[in-house]
Amino acid sequence: MSSTVILAAAAAFALGCVFCLGLWWLSAHRSRRGRMETMKAAVWLCLFNGCAWVVVLLSAGLSGP
């Protein structure tokens, strides 16, 4: 197994952890913020996670075998 694949898998796992922690934080702090502010934060979290996944997949795919 290539070291790039291992690094990509580790990065994907870390992104999943960050995403889950972000969702947990949003749900825990929802009462302090307004509904729209919580939704905006959730959208930004999803966009960040999606962009990070694209970078991880591209870096794993472009590095070659």
Q: What is the pLDDT of residue 17?
A: 82
- Please tell me the distance from the alpha carbon of residue 59 to that of residue 64, in angstroms, as a whole number: 9
| In contact, 23 and 45? CB cutoff 8 Å | yes
Q: What is the pLDDT of residue 36?
A: 74
- Please tell me the distance from the alpha carbon of residue 39 to that of residue 18, in angstroms, as a whole number: 17
Type of residue numbered 25: W
DSSP per-residue letters across 22-44: HHHHHHHTTTTS-HHHHHHHHHH
Question: Per residue of the chain (65 residues), what is the pLDDT tens digit?
Answer: 577 777 777 877 888 888 888 878 877 776 666 777 777 777 888 888 778 778 777 777 665 55
Q: What is the pLDDT of residue 40?
A: 78
> What's the whole-model pTM score?
0.57
